[in-house]
Copies of this chain bind each other. A is one copy, B any other.
């Protein structure tokens, strides 16, 4: 590995001069600069980032802590972060942390040890208090898909309530009046908010959503969706429109409906949430609420970097809006 010393020696200048031309700052004579640049190119010199980080006390690297990159939602999140990071000449360090608060904390810890000045964190297991404490210690730490009232300017989140309202309204517009809802059993903030949104939309239309019309899947995946549909039918519930917590569950629901000889959307309309890639694989393709993760991750990245260098706590929060993607799983209600 060729170092700054090597180029200084070959170019017959001091290392500070080399440093100046590398960082393109400070005054260097044109002839001298050209000479040094030439040697740099010839030798293929690249500054050692670790050494730079050491002296600068910052590493120009962004940490991303997510449950699992292999899940498309988080993969997209990571991708958005990477895109924004590259723009700012930052590198991306990915840390999967799943299952426990400790795992998440360890991931953050290791990132801090790397002197990541900016971190985008998607927490699933930390309490608000823990996160607030963390935020105090790490100025470039930002939370995505989460809202914490104490530190709103550190949060990039989605209006889940509004999204669910929009979904409900859409179904209403399509003439539906008999609704069922599928959500996840382990009520996380998102699912609660989405449920609220649905209630709001239906209440506005003077429609009651009986609790018996809400069914829960043990897991927020296809299995959970299937399971919940089965439960609904076991209770012999009738409905023409089904609002589902997310696309995975929605697709599971469509599968189960299909297996029971029920056509989507002719017999029952289904609407999902997230707009993951998978939702176009289903037949019919899923009508769903688009979750702009990529854009949110980009925003979060820029914010984290900004905050890491200039921790001015403006009180503003960063709220994104989901919007409807109309595909083929919702039809107009028509009485038989």
Contacts and interface: CB of A to CB of B under 8 A. Distances in A.
Contacts of A80: 70
A71 B75 contact: yes
Contacts of A313: none
A110 interface: yes
A64 to B, nearest CB: 8
Interface in A31-65: 46-51, 53-54, 57, 59
Given A49-B113, A50-B59, A78-B69, A93 B96 contact: no
B115 A49 contact: yes
Contact of A283 (B83, B86, B280, B283): B283
A207 interface: no
Which of A49, A96, A115 has the largest count of B CB atoms less than 10 A from its CB? A49
**A interface majority secondary structure:** helix
A76 B70 contact: yes
Counting contact residues on chain A (CB < 8 A from B), the size range is 35 or more
Contacts of A68: 79
A91 interface: yes
Contacts of A283: 254-255, 258, 282-283
Contact of A109 (B46, B96, B115): B46
Interface string A79-99: 110110010000111111000
A115 B59 CA distance: 13
A115 B237 CA distance: 61
Interface string A260-280: 000000000000000001111
Interface string A266-308: 0000000000011111110100000000100000000000000
Nearest to A282: B281
Contact of A75 (B75, B222, B278): B75
Q: Report the 9 A-B pairs with minimum CB-CB distance, sorted nearest first.
A: A75-B75, A70-B79, A50-B53, A281-B281, A70-B76, A46-B113, A50-B50, A70-B75, A278-B281
14 contacts: A46-B112, A47-B113, A48-B115, A50-B51, A50-B114, A51-B54, A69-B69, A69-B79, A70-B72, A78-B94, A92-B95, A278-B278, A279-B281, A282-B283
